[in-house]
Amino acid sequence: MNILVCIKQVPDTTEIKIDPVTNTLIRDGVPSVLNPYDGYALESAARIKDNAPETRIVVLTMGPPQAEPALRECLSTAADRAYLLTDRAFGGSDTLATSYILSAAVKQVEELEGKFDMIFCGKQAIDGDTAQVGPELAEHLGLPQVTYALEVLEAAPEQLKLLRETEEGRQVVGVTYPCLATFTKPAFDLRFPSFRRRAAARQAEIVRLGAGDIPRIDLTRSGLKGSPTKVKRTFVPPRKQSGIIIKDDTAENAAAKLCEALRSARVI
């Protein structure tokens, strides 16, 4: 099996504070981390490799050279090879342009690494929170996609069986190869780096790809000019009010209270 995991380096949002005056995020001095959802995607790939040691895991990120530590973290935990997609021409890309560039890069990386059976992504990055790049990448590549995967149940020769999270509960889905899956938070984290891998990762070569290395890329679809998204305004979303919990001695009484609350809110 050949697995590509797409990752992103993001500011550690647990360290971000909000400027009380301007109501904007204070990013200065905030450490960067591997996007946690990408970590879950990588761990899911690593678990396939645990059972099938011949599996190869390649990681790919698009970003500035400062994104290298996130790639090295992947190498220190589970990845066999890392690619950094970096070029000024890619700067300012929205999700559509990003996913297009990634799709072009995937085809290029496949020429070096062989065809990927699976492409794993985090369901979203914790900075942008769009959850669009994974699904868009699948569309550009014409791959079947499974979103909100919790874990890989089985990577059988003919199909990948995934457990996915839905609004209502959980669902087991089978998908044929090649495919793309985006991962949400499971009951495990990305594994700890082993001492030996960590030492090797520090020395490992990270392959850089620029626009010039991807002959078939259409640069009009890249960067700011290739991005139809226009940011008109940014703001901190208002806090959602937490729900109310109705408790009573009996279900009847509780239901009556609920009806009353819905009526007074003019919902019914």
Partner 1 sequence: MADYNPITPEIIAELSKAVPGRVMVGDSVNPDYARDEMPIYGTRMPEVSIDVLSTEEVAAIVKICYENRIPVTTRGAGTGLVGGCTPICGGVVICTAKMNKILSYDLENFAVTVQPGVLLQQLAEDALTHGCLYPPDPGEKLATLGGNVATNASGMRGVKYGATRDYVKAMTVVLPTGEVTRFGATVSKTSSGYSLLNLMIGSEGTLGIITELTLKLIPAPKATISLIAPFAGLAECISTVPKFKMNHFDPQAIEFFEKEILISSEEYLGKQVFPRRVEGCQVGAYLLITFDGDSQDELEPVIERAAEMLLAEGALDVLVADTPPRLKSAWAARSSFLEGIEEQTKLLDECDVVVPVPRIPEYVVYVDELAKNYDFHVQYFGHAGDGNLHIYTCSNDMEREEFLRQVDSFMASVYQKAMELGGQISGEHGIGMGKVKYLAQAAGPINMALMQGIKQVFDPRMILNPGKVCRSLDC
Residues in contact with partner 1 by the rule CB under 8 A: 14, 33, 50, 187-189, 191-196, 198-199
Minimum CB–partner distance for residue 188 and partner 1 (Å): 5
Minimum CB–partner distance for residue 15 and partner 1 (Å): 9
Nearest in space to 36 (alpha carbons), one of 14, 66, 20: 14
Nearest to partner 1 of 24, 192 (CB atom)? 192
Minimum CB–partner distance for residue 232 and partner 1 (Å): 34
Minimum CB–partner distance for residue 126 and partner 1 (Å): 12
Nearest to partner 1 of 154, 248 (CB atom)? 154
Nearest to partner 1 of 24, 194 (CB atom)? 194
| Amino acid symbol at 20 | P
β-pairing, 145-155 vs 159-165, is: antiparallel
Positive or negative torsion for Cα 97, 145, 181, 79: negative
Nearest to partner 1 of 67, 104 (CB atom)? 67
Nearest to partner 1 of 35, 93 (CB atom)? 35
Minimum CB–partner distance for residue 249 and partner 1 (Å): 22
Q: How far apart are CA 109 and CA 209, in angstroms?
A: 9
**Angle at CA of residue 192, ends 56 and 195, nearest 5°:** 85
| Amino acid symbol at 221 | R
Nearest to partner 1 of 2, 76 (CB atom)? 76
Minimum CB–partner distance for residue 2 and partner 1 (Å): 21
Q: How far apart are CA 11 and CA 213, in angstroms?
A: 28
| 266: alpha, beta or left? (left if phi > 0; alpha if psi -120 to 50) | left
Tokens 């900075």 -> residue: 127
Q: How far apart are CA 107 and CA 142, in angstroms?
A: 12
Eight-state DSSP code of residue 193: P
Specify whether the CB–CB gap between 44 and 149 falls below 8 A. yes
